[in-house]
Amino acid sequence: MVLSTVFGLIALVFVVLNFIVSLKITKTLTFHGVDISYPLLHIRIYRYAGMYKDITLREDGKVGPLYQQFIITNRIFLVFLALGIIASYLF
């Protein structure tokens, strides 16, 4: 039970970090004239991340740093979430 709680807390940290990165992505998109729907942010964030990738790639010739941060925090969150669920069933 303790292990699943630890994994859950780590997953919570990464989902909060992912949310912060998501807000930074939407702020950048707003500066580029994209209308953001904040009530639907949890549904459309992957679309917005793709738009951010395309815009930064066109501007600088490389993908912006927030895109990689978004992908990494998202994947680490999912890994620790899965580990927490598995640990809750095994222990």
Which of the residues in the chain have pLDDT under 70? none
pLDDT tens profile 55-70: 999 999 999 999 999 9
Among candidate residues 25, 13, 8, the one with its CA nearest the CA of residue 73 = 13
pTM of the model: 0.90
- Contact, 15 vs 77, CB < 8 A? yes
pLDDT at 32: 95
**For 1-91, where are the alpha helices, taking DSSP H only?**
2-31, 41-60, 65-90
pLDDT at 34: 95
pLDDT at 91: 79
1 Cβ neighbours under 8 A, 6+ residues apart: 88, 91
91 Cβ neighbours under 8 A, 6+ residues apart: 1, 3, 4
